[in-house]
Amino acid sequence: MTDEIEHFTVGKDREMDLYLAKYDVLGSMAHITMLESIGLLTKDELQVLLAVLRTIYQEAESGRFVIEEGVEDVHSQVELMLTRQLGDIGKKIHSGRSRNDQVLVDLKLFIRDQLREIAELTEALFHELIDKSNTYKDVLMPGYTHLQVAMPSSFGLWFGAYAESLADDMQYLLAAWRITNRNPLGSAAGYGSSFPLKRQMTTDLLGFDSMDYNVVYAQMGRGKTERNVAFSMASIAGTLSKLAFDACMFNSQNFGFVKLPDECTTGSSIMPHKKNPDVFELTRAKCNKIQALPQTVMLIMNNLPSGYFRDLQIIKEVFLPSFDELKDCLRMAAYIINRMKVNEHILDNPIYDNMFSVEEVNRLASEGMPFRDAYKKVGLDIESGNFTPQKQIHHTHEGSIGNLCNDKIEALMQKTIDEFGFFKVEEAIKALVSD
């Protein structure tokens, strides 16, 4: 039964800790640099410790880092590797911290890197959508309400709408970045330390914007950070899921508005004519799963008071792998949008003629006929089969078919991206791991 209890309590923690290995090393490098400044390590001890930690960091970056059988977690594995090479010096690195603030800083460093990658992939998809919007800005397509043909739209509007949605999603990502990019190191087990720690020093060394100042709040941030980050990921996933649904529908024979790249579709085992949009269907499902992530995290931490509890371990199992899933979806979406082919002759089909009814009502109203009378006249013409659509569209207001405002949308996205300040983090980490 003892083995079963150990298996139950450890769960997937060792597997999840591999996500955090290189970040645990970074946190230790900053921490021991600070320890030397307050006299808990000598300069010589610091240098030999940093040299070995840099080697371990390279192992973790290359995927060669392993947590050995019988070793509890990534923190213990790093300390074991140091002690094997350096003896008692390796045992000194834990002064002034707890595994609680150690895993907190590991998670924040990991999340920060993941958010940067997601931001870059989101930006890449954004530009694919803007490019397609500009390319097909004059190609009309039906717009729908209630899945009924409603009014004229355009591929410029359709692609551009998803681009602007991503620009808004990036605001959520920026908020998640700002909450993440605060240093919890030095909060120890949640109540600080009697050592005269220099928390601003580790904050600067790790490239954080600021620290989580209150040590109790730093521990309360465990779970809260993951929940807020999950909401930002869910926002992007919601945009991708809707885009995937539209594309699957528009790719079907009943619509025939777009053609997805052949390599992103599969055939049927018995129907040779089928081209199933598998990649976007899987994207839709994966993104819907990601949209459930905030609620999963919230329910795990929902009734926990302040302080650390083992419940928080379970968050890692659902949270850490979700980044790779979202990144894969963003890559697939960008690939498909880049290669998607648009049907430029949709409106040759007379079933879409009636979507120009509003244009005719507006034309009559512009000539002086009361709007309600114009509405009634066009409705009667449609019922009697006498409606002849005028397919020349002249929309000029901001955000309409004839004035997409894509330049404004690009400016919104760029402004948000500039606020992340990725360069500051890159410079700090580069300085920390350099000899």
What DSSP designation does 207 have?
T
Question: Looking at the 3D structure of the chain, how many domains does it have?
Answer: 3
- pLDDT at 276 (0 to 100): 86
pLDDT at 13 over 80: no
210-238 confidence digits (pLDDT tens): 999 999 999 998 999 999 999 999 999 99
pLDDT band (50, 70, 90) for residue 37: very high
CA distances from 418 to 164, 165, 197, 412 (A): 17, 18, 33, 10
Average pLDDT over residues 349-376: 91
Tell me which of 7, 62, 127, 146 is the catalytic residue. Answer: 146
Could you list the residue range(s) of the whole structural domain that residue 54 is in? 2-92
Residue 403 phi, psi dihedral angles, 5° rounding: -150, 75
11, 71: one domain: yes
Residue 188 CA to residue 97 CA, distance in Å, equals 4
- pLDDT at 268 (0 to 100): 64
* pTM, two decimal places: 0.94
Catalytic residue flag (residue 127): no
CA 264, 269, 271: angle at the middle one, nearest 5?
A: 90
Average pLDDT over residues 126-155: 95
229, 80: one domain: no
137, 55: one domain: no
pLDDT at 360 over 90: no
- pLDDT at 406 (0 to 100): 97
Strand ranges (E), 174-298: 182-183, 210-211, 258-259
Catalytic residue flag (residue 269): no
Tell me which of 210, 268, 306, 394 is the catalytic residue. Answer: 268
Q: Is 182 helix (H, G, I), strand (E, B) or coil?
A: strand
- pLDDT at 231 (0 to 100): 98
Task: Specify if 111 maps to a domain.
Answer: yes
- pLDDT at 171 (0 to 100): 97
Residue 364 in tokens: 């009559």
pLDDT at 155 over 90: yes
190, 272: one domain: yes
Residue 175 in tokens: 């908020």
CATH code: domain of residue 251? 1.20.200.10
98-124 confidence digits (pLDDT tens): 999 999 999 999 999 999 999 999 999
Task: Specify if 369 maps to a domain.
Answer: yes
> What rounded mean pLDDT belongs to the chain?
93
Can you give the C-alpha Rg of the chain in angstroms? Answer: 28
pLDDT at 375 over 70: yes
110, 135: one domain: yes
Task: Specify if 298 maps to a domain.
Answer: yes
pLDDT band (50, 70, 90) for residue 306: confident
CATH code: domain of residue 28? 1.10.275.10
CB atoms closer than 10 angstroms to residue 85: 15
